[in-house]
Amino acid sequence: MRLLVRERVFGIGDDYWIEDADGHKLFLVDGKAMRLRDTFELKDTNGQVLVEIRQKLISIRDTMLIERDGDELAKVRRKRLSLLRNHYRVSLVDGTELDVSGKILDREFAVDYDGELLAQISRRWLTIRDTYGIDIVREDADVPLLVAVAVCVIVLADKERDKDHDED
């Protein structure tokens, strides 16, 4: 399953659609402005909230939380003991851990579980400006979760880059 995300609208308070390869709208990313922390809701085409994505307010490292039906589903944060800045860990509440690595700021990265590729995020196969694709590899994958992971990792990497620029 290939999804298309138009990146230029990737901001707090912005709403944007994620489409399939044929241009059909599948998910609405509803950015919630005027909040203390970054908050997004991933909704289906009927407006039902599939997952909520929010920044954890108090944490040593920037952390994003993914919730489903009010219950925590996963935490996303940069991997601690990694020399690579572009390496993130997704800790699911059931103890499962997903690894995210690649060139996050270039939108060229992968999500895997125990060495098995779950999703590939890339701009390479697209000619549309300011767009990247999310290629879900496994048919039994939790698509809203993988979309939320991609959103979280990009938000965290962009914040880190902005923080680094502010310190210069």
Distance of CA 65 to the CA centre of its chain: 11
The average confidence (pLDDT) of the chain is: 82
pLDDT (0 to 100) of residue 84? 55
Tell which wins on pLDDT, 37 or 162.
Answer: 162
Contacts of 7 (CB under 8 A, 6+ apart): 107, 130, 131, 132
Pair 133, 141: CB distance under 8 Å: no
Q: Rounded to whole angstroms, how far apart are CA atoms 142 and 139?
A: 9
The band of 162, judged by pLDDT with boundaries at 50, 70 and 90, is low
pLDDT (0 to 100) of residue 155? 82
pLDDT at 74 over 80: yes
Tell which wins on pLDDT, 40 or 119.
Answer: 119
Pair 62, 164: CB distance under 8 Å: no
Pair 53, 35: CB distance under 8 Å: no
pLDDT at 89 over 70: yes
